[in-house]
Amino acid sequence: MATFSNNIETIVTDNSRTMANKVRFAIQRGLGGVAAIDITLDDFIGNCNIDSDTFDDFKGDISLDVTEHIDFSLLRVINKAIDVTLDELAGKVVSIVSITTPK
C-alpha cells in the first residue's frame, strides 16, 4: 500500500497473469529488470493455484502444466515468463509451460 501526500491510498495486487505481462513488458522494452518489492506476500506455503490464463496474452496457444498448490507461485511465474518471453522474441513457438515444485 502506498500513501500519498494528499492521503489517497493505493493498493496494488498482482496475480500470475499480471506478473507474467509485467515481465514480458520489461523484456520487450529492454528495461533493466523487474522488482518484487515484498516477496513475503507471495504464497510460500502453496495455498493458492496459478491462474490458468497466465500466458493468454503471449503469442501462440500456450497451455499451462502446473502443480496444484505450488509454493512461491508468483516468483515461479516470473521465472517462467522470462523464459517464455525470450523464446517468443527469438521466434520459438512455445506450446506448454510447466511450473512445478522442484523435488
SS3 58: coil
**Residue 30 vs residue 34, higher pLDDT:** 30
The pLDDT value recorded for residue 101 is 62
User: Is 1 a domain residue?
Assistant: no
Q: pLDDT tens for residues 53-93? A: 888 898 877 777 776 677 888 888 888 899 889 989 998 87
State the total domains in the chain: 1
**Residue 10 vs residue 26, higher pLDDT:** 26
**Could you tell me the three cell numbers for 35?**
522488482
User: Is 49 a domain residue?
Assistant: yes
User: Is 45 a domain residue?
Assistant: yes
User: Is 11 a domain residue?
Assistant: no
Q: Is the pLDDT of residue 4 over 60?
A: no
Domain ranges, residue 82: 16-99
User: Is 5 a domain residue?
Assistant: no
How much is the average pLDDT of 16-36? 89
Residues for the chain: how many in total? 103
Torsion sign, CA atoms 53, 54, 58, 59: negative
User: Is 7 a domain residue?
Assistant: no
User: What beta strand segments (E) does the chain contain?
Assistant: 2-3, 9-10, 63-66, 96-99
What is the pTM for the complete model shown?
Answer: 0.76
Count how many Cα atoms sit within 13 Å of the Cα of residue 92 in the half-sphere of its side chain: 9
User: Is 3 a domain residue?
Assistant: no
